[in-house]
Structure 1
């Protein structure tokens, strides 16, 4: 009985770290995030250090990139479902950075 209980506790304790590491959108910030979460229009981003992640929504990826750059500052990288933006697309995002 104790072993399943311990396993459940360990799984639940690891859940936030797993959720933080995954997301449909992922932004790598040039500077660590000032907050652990931020909101762009109707999307909640969860941040830890220089990484912010968010679930999929209806906006175009370029718009999502520009919105997070506007709220969090310049980005070093931006990925959508694991696919990284190229340098030109990232530069366009960073033109909107605060």
Structure 2
């Protein structure tokens, strides 16, 4: 039983860190117009919006597909970031081409 103590400790730490990561958002999106709703779902990812910016935890979708799903829900974006790195202008324009 003692052999499993380090594994249990790591699992406990990871479970405590997960809500903090979800709150900060792996993805952030800033729509050109403020979203009408405070939250929305893209396939299986829940997005929360506040002060004109929306954030979501990391997903298994590719970053390009995630951006496309967001613009289908909220319209064109002024910025889209993944893990703190913003899409360049060309990639963002390609994503915005999928806007509703």
What is the TM-score with the length of structure 2 in the denominator? 0.76
Runs of 4+ in 1 over 3 A off after TM superposition: 18-21
Separation of aligned partners in 2, 1:27 and 1:51: 6
Label 1:21 to 1:32 Cα distance change in 2 as closer, same or farther (>3 A).
Answer: farther
Larger Rg: 2
What is the TM-score with the length of structure 1 in the denominator? 0.77
Label 1:19 to 1:50 Cα distance change in 2 as closer, same or farther (>3 A).
Answer: farther
Query: Structure 1, residues 24-71: CA drift from partner, whole Å, max 9, x if none?
Result: 000011000110000110000001132000000100001000100110
Structure 2: unaligned runs, 5 residues or longer: 1-19
Alignment partner, residue 62 of structure 1: 64
* Paired residues, number: 81
Alignment partner, residue 32 of structure 2: 30
Task: Give the CA RMSD over aligned residues.
Answer: 1.7
Question: Does residue 72 in structure 1 map to residue 67 in structure 2?
Answer: no
